[in-house]
Structure 1
Amino acid sequence: MNYETQLSGEAVAVISEDESRRSRKRLLIGGVVAIVLVTAAVAISMRGGDSANTAAPTAQVPVVTVISPGQSTVSRTVSATGSLAARVDMPVGVVGEGGMVTRVLVQPGDWVRAGQVLATVERSVQTEQVRSLAAQVEVQRANAKLAQAQLDRAKALVGRGFISAADIDQRTATRDQAEAQMRVAQAQLAEQQARTGRLDIRAPASGLVLTRTVEPGQIVQAGGGVLFRMAKDGEMEMQAQVAEGDLTTLRAGNSATVTPIGGRQGFAGRVWQVSPVVDPQTRQGIARIAIPYNSAIRPGGFASAMITSGSGSAPLLPESAVQNDAKGSYVYIVNAKGQVERRDVTVGQVSDNGVAVTGGIAGTEQIVTSAGAFLTPGQKVKPERYKAG
């Protein structure tokens, strides 16, 4: 029994020693693996940090194209809005005694000449009056002719003693009276003919018919309102509302371009009158711009105008350099520290040569020409001079 017990104890001791060796081996392998993993992580971290440090300056300092435009000779312009109208708006109404309209001979949009009949008024009574007066003229003409014949016969007999000088004077007076009565009758006829003629509603001058407010069968009378409106010679104008400060720079003869609202075509015009007064409420005056007739120019419509008021010096920038937002127009400039700054500007005339900037910059700054929408104030950039293509 003691021998068996001894063998069992030795076997247990051997097994425990083997397990201990296997545990130490596992710990050693685990430690080596941990060291390898930590070393790899540190290496990867260092390489990632170097890459980030290398890429960061590139992302933070983009290259932008800049320009220093200096000063260029540009046209000074004034922007304005206003309504379109006939340059000379002629209201046409009844000039005679009126009556029932029998015919209307024109439509809005028709061109008419001076004196052309636009509408006629019923005249049956006036026509009979003209005939009556014409007959009276014939009666008085016959009386004057008879009186003249009697005077001529009396003059032939006076030398033979049959007619006295007093009779000659009497017959002369009778002849003169008959001729006067004939002239009175002729004047009355002419007056009635003129009254009858005034029943025709005529164009006071050549031009374009704008509106018509009369129809056949309508009863019209003098002072009863406007039946037609005409634009004399078809000439149109824009009544531009101009700010008080800009009004002083305008003169009659300044050229302008007028664009009706909703249209794309601009029409060349010229300022023909500048208002001598300013509205005390709006602080604006009116510049009247004459423009030739075109079917796109409709009186009563609205339009915008660009008026050239002279020339001056201003920086001229590419259109891509000027940005716009709710606060207005602005540009980005690069300051001495290489940082982006926003600069609010006032934009003048836009032409094929670029945008004239009338306020906000002097032209000596480094102005970003493009990609302004991707920049933010204070951002670091690397400026590169603009090269005209």
Structure 2
Amino acid sequence: MNYDAKIETARDTSQDPALEAESVKDARSRRRVLLIVAAVVLAMIGLWFLLHSRSGEPATDAGAAQVPVVTVASPGRATISGEITGTGSIAARRELPVGSVGEGGQVVSVLVDAGDWVKEGQTLAVVDRSVQAQQVASLAAQVDVAAADARLAQANLDRALKLVERGFISRADIDRLTATRDAAQARVDVARAQLGEARARNNRLNIVAPEGGLVLSRDVEPGQVVGGGSGVLFRIAQGGQMELLARLSESDLAKLSVGVRAEVTPVGSDRTYEGQVWQLSPVVNEQDRQGEARIALPYAPGLRPGGFATARIASGTLVAPRLPESAILSDEKGSFVYIVNKDGRVERRPVKTGLVTAEGIAITEGLTGTERVVLRAGGFLNPGDAVKTRRAEQGG
């Protein structure tokens, strides 16, 4: 009886639904844990194989993406025309100051104005000469009186010479009459000289142009009293010729010579005027270490004395590589550029620069022109860096 009871109790327990559901839930949890552990193990194994399989490759894609790309160009060799730029003021090449050189007087009329062209000897202003004219008339009358006296003395001498042969007049009388005739003739010469002097003084009353050219300024008006101390009344540019007084450093002056071509552009104008250097300053200012290059210019309405202008002066040519300013770097060791060698790595190359033009800077030493030169961003590179290159649109 007890045995049967135990069997019945066991059957009742195995057939309990709650116990059976809990048992199924535990089995599922263990299975899920096992699957997760297996997945983690497989992932670790896969990662190990991935890392070891790529450890022998030269570079990863991420590493390749970090190599910088630089723009390079081979400059070649070109004929470079040197150019020096300077600024200065426009002036008359030969300025003639004109004033009153006579006794002076009141100005009656002014015949020219600033901007007019005049010829040599042309009257610029007329000075009143009413008093001087009367003096000339008086002196002319004195010439006539002296001439009459001279004619009378000559006639007396001629008559005495006819009488001396007859013994009516002595030789002493002849000598006295001859002296009287000579004195009368001398008085005629004096009177004529005084008349000529008066006329010359009157001619100097008028203010005339000493040379032909362009009148730059007029500082006299009708009614003004002028004289030797009146100063400059007119200024004339001889022949209308102009010049630019270009201020240059002593190093630039050393590169120039008389006769070189220059282009001058006045401030506020887009027109350029051709000229040439006709004189270089023999001295250099001690304060700013600059001198003057005088550039001769033919007359043109756009060239106004006193105006400011810029000059571009040719300073010779040479054949050399040429690079933009962005490609040339400098430090305490001097100027240098970066070039890319055949292995794709950056190398430092010391250079010496020469002429500076609008197209670039000439390289006189350090390059042959066939190298691949880094044009930009050289300041972010170091010797030995690996780079990728890209040709400039306008390579050498």
Q: Matched residue of 1:139: which SS?
A: helix
In structure 1, C-alpha distance between the alignment counterparts of 2:226 and 2:20, rounded to whole Å: 135
Aligned position for 2:320:
315
Give 1:221 deviation, angstroms: 1.9
Q: Does the 8 Å CA contact 2:322/2:363 hold for their aligned counterparts?
A: no
Aligned position for 2:53:
none
In structure 1, C-alpha distance between the alignment counterparts of 2:198 and 2:327, rounded to whole Å: 71
Aligned position for 2:306:
300
In structure 2, C-alpha distance between the alignment counterparts of 1:215 and 1:384, rounded to whole Å: 74
Aligned position for 1:263:
269
Tell me which amino acid in the other structure corresponds to 2:305. Answer: P
Q: Matched residue of 1:152: which SS?
A: helix
Runs of 5+ unmatched residues, structure 2:
1-15, 44-59
TM-score (norm 2): 0.73
Aligned position for 1:348:
355
Give 1:205 deviation, angstroms: 0.8
In structure 2, C-alpha distance between the alignment counterparts of 1:66 and 1:166, rounded to whole Å: 115
Q: Does the 8 Å CA contact 2:150/2:184 hold for their aligned counterparts?
A: yes
Q: Does the 8 Å CA contact 2:99/2:207 hold for their aligned counterparts?
A: yes
Tell me which amino acid in the other structure corresponds to 2:169. Answer: I
Give 1:340 deviation, angstroms: 9.6
**Residue 68 of structure 1 pairs with residue 75 of structure 2:** yes
The change in CA–CA distance for 1:340 and 1:244 in structure 2 (over 3 A counts) is same
Q: Matched residue of 1:198: which SS?
A: helix
Give 1:247 deviation, angstroms: 2.2
Q: 1:14-25 residue pairs with structure 2 within 5 A?
A: none
Aligned position for 2:49:
none
> Percent of aligned positions with the same letter in both sequences?
45
Q: 1:152-301 residue pairs with structure 2 within 5 A?
A: 152-301=158-307
- Report Cα offsets for 1:114-156 as digits up to 9, x if no partner: 1111111111111111111111111111211222222222223
In structure 1, C-alpha distance between the alignment counterparts of 2:122 and 2:209, rounded to whole Å: 5
**Residue 357 of structure 1 pairs with residue 371 of structure 2:** no
Q: Does the 8 Å CA contact 1:340/1:375 hold for their aligned counterparts?
A: no
Q: Does the 8 Å CA contact 1:61/1:382 hold for their aligned counterparts?
A: yes
Q: What is the CA RMSD across the aligned residues, in angstroms? A: 4.4
The change in CA–CA distance for 1:261 and 1:157 in structure 2 (over 3 A counts) is same
Q: Does the 8 Å CA contact 1:103/1:119 hold for their aligned counterparts?
A: yes
Tell me which amino acid in the other structure corresponds to 1:162. Answer: F
Greater Rg by CA: 2
Runs of 5+ unmatched residues, structure 1:
1-12, 40-52
- Report Cα offsets for 1:262-295 as digits up to 9, x if no partner: 3233222222222222211111222222121111
Give 1:106 deviation, angstroms: 0.9
Give 1:201 deviation, angstroms: 0.8
Moved more, 75-84 or 293-302: 75-84
The change in CA–CA distance for 1:75 and 1:125 in structure 2 (over 3 A counts) is same
TM-score (norm 1): 0.75
Q: Does the 8 Å CA contact 1:254/1:308 hold for their aligned counterparts?
A: yes
